[in-house]
Amino acid sequence: MSRSSSTGSAPVPSNSLKVTHSIAARHPGIRRYSPGVPGRLVDRHPTVSPELLIAQLVPPPTFTGVSFESYRPDPAEPSQAAAVLACEAFCAEAVRRRAGRRKVFGRRETLPGVGLYLDGGFGVGKTHLLASAYRRIPDAADHPKAFAAFGELTQLAGVFGFVECIELLANYTVLCIDEFELDDPGNTTLISRLLSQLVERGVSIAATSNTLPEQLGEGRFAAQDFLREINTLASIFTTVRIEGPDYRHRGLPPAPQPLTDAQVISAAEGRPGATLDGFDELCRHLATMHPSRYHALIEGVSAVHITGVHPLDDQAVALRLVALTDRLYDAGIPVVASGAKLDTVFSPEMLEGGYRKKYLRATSRLLALSNPAAWDAAGLPAT
């Protein structure tokens, strides 16, 4: 989650994605847009090759150009300034560990990597700091660096296989994981083994989360049955807590009143690169692909228009919407909708369950993307 260059403001991600002729070449299942005629996300069926998965292991466009220097700690929250220092120290130690210890005859001994876990609420700048750490690590052909959302990391292991994934990442200096979370026992076992072996091979791990390492999985599955794996993960990291209010809503009004269907359709027709979908149809379409494809699904889109939004009562549908919201926010793509207010999409029951923090994060991001300031940041006319 980025932070503005000046305290007290309420920034929104800038949309750096434009419609390009290369999109259809990379993703044969994606149609090009015609001027004045909005496309539909439900007509897109992107494929993601292993090569594209590797190419995507970089911070999202929203965080292009961020740095530790551009992070502005809140003077009222000393934990934020302390987090910057902890991240800088992590980067220096990660580079030192990757270089190894010199032994006799010029050989170097591999040192285990280090771990940093940025824990905090929504909108305190965790992703800004994580992306800054990625950019602080030097570029090196023999020791690359990677930045991935948690779902992208599990997909990487699924595509390449566990052993191949370890070999792929074993020479990296650092692996940055955004929104670290454990949703099911399979992920818990996989990630525990994967990160443990990467650290042994000299890879340092930095992660962000809204949940402390030892509390991962609580309320989502029988976490007590996986205490060994969870404790193994917790032992990898030094945890740094970041306090503060959600910067995305400083000075912002409550959720805007929804538009009518006619207003949404008219807005979509007037914006090149816009998409227009019905809420239920879009939710069904999201179920046809792995969430790791949502990045490709929205590539080249200037704004997403949705009609008929309503509260959800199916958790699987809600979690897919969370994943799409994360990708839209990363890309800085504004959202305009009709139907229910966007802060009512996730039911009160959902907001009290094990995925509460995910739903609150998604709500925070949807409100930021639907705010008129998002249109200004994206260079689009107001609705």
208 and 324 fall within a common domain: no
> Residue 360 — pLDDT band, cuts 50, 70, 90?
confident
> Residue 226 — pLDDT band, cuts 50, 70, 90?
low
Q: Report the mean per-residue pLDDT for the chain.
A: 82
Regarding predicted confidence, which is higher, 213 or 198? 198
Amino acid at 214: E
- The answer to whether residue 11 is domain-embedded is no
> Residue 116 — pLDDT band, cuts 50, 70, 90?
very high
pLDDT of 200 above 70: yes
- Find the length of the chain: 383
Task: Give pLDDT tens digits for 235-250.
Answer: 899 999 999 876 654 5
CATH classification of the domain holding 140? 3.40.50.300
Task: Give pLDDT tens digits for 20-64.
Answer: 333 344 444 444 445 557 899 999 999 878 888 888 899 988 898
109 and 210 fall within a common domain: yes
Residue where a domain terminates, one of 243, 267, 296: 243
> Residue 232 — pLDDT band, cuts 50, 70, 90?
confident
91 and 224 fall within a common domain: yes
231 and 259 fall within a common domain: no
87 and 206 fall within a common domain: yes
Regarding predicted confidence, which is higher, 231 or 342? 342
Name, of 54-58, 113-117, 188-192, 210-214, the range with top average pLDDT: 113-117
- The answer to whether residue 70 is domain-embedded is no
Regarding predicted confidence, which is higher, 313 or 109? 313
Regarding predicted confidence, which is higher, 108 or 166? 166
Residue where a domain terminates, one of 191, 223, 243: 243
292 and 226 fall within a common domain: no
- The answer to whether residue 5 is domain-embedded is no
CATH classification of the domain holding 287? 3.40.50
pLDDT for 87: 98
Residue where a domain terminates, one of 197, 216, 243: 243
pTM, 2 dp: 0.74
pLDDT for 44: 97
- The answer to whether residue 3 is domain-embedded is no
Domain span at residue 146 reads: 75-243
- The answer to whether residue 288 is domain-embedded is yes
173 and 310 fall within a common domain: no
What is the average pLDDT across 194-202?
95
Regarding predicted confidence, which is higher, 184 or 300? 300
- The answer to whether residue 10 is domain-embedded is no
Could you tell me whether strands 101-102 and 145-149 are parallel, antiparallel, or unpaired per DSSP bridges?
unpaired
pLDDT for 279: 98
230 and 81 fall within a common domain: yes
Number of structural domains in the chain: 2
Longest dimension (CA), the chain: 75
How many Cα atoms sit within 13 Å of 339 on the Cβ side? 19
> Residue 362 — pLDDT band, cuts 50, 70, 90?
very high
- Helix 185-200 to helix 227-236 angle, to the nearest 10 degrees? 40
pLDDT for 247: 60
pLDDT of 363 above 70: yes
Task: Give pLDDT tens digits for 272-323.
Answer: 999 999 999 999 999 999 888 898 999 999 999 999 999 999 999 999 999 9
- Residue 186 CA to residue 67 CA, distance in Å, equals 35
231 and 257 fall within a common domain: no
Angle at 22 between CA 19 and CA 24, to 5 degrees: 85
pLDDT for 121: 79
b/e 222-248 (16+ beta carbons within 10 angstroms → b): ebeebeebbebbbebbebbebebebbb
- The answer to whether residue 373 is domain-embedded is yes
177 and 42 fall within a common domain: no
pLDDT for 181: 79
CB 215 within 8 A of CB 233: no
Name, of 93-107, 141-155, 221-235, 369-383, the range with top average pLDDT: 141-155
42 and 147 fall within a common domain: no
Q: Which of 301, 323, 334 is nearest to 39 (CA)?
A: 301
CB-based contacts of 307, cutoff 8 Å, min separation 6: 261, 264, 265, 276, 277, 278, 279, 337, 338, 339
- The answer to whether residue 368 is domain-embedded is yes
184 and 278 fall within a common domain: no
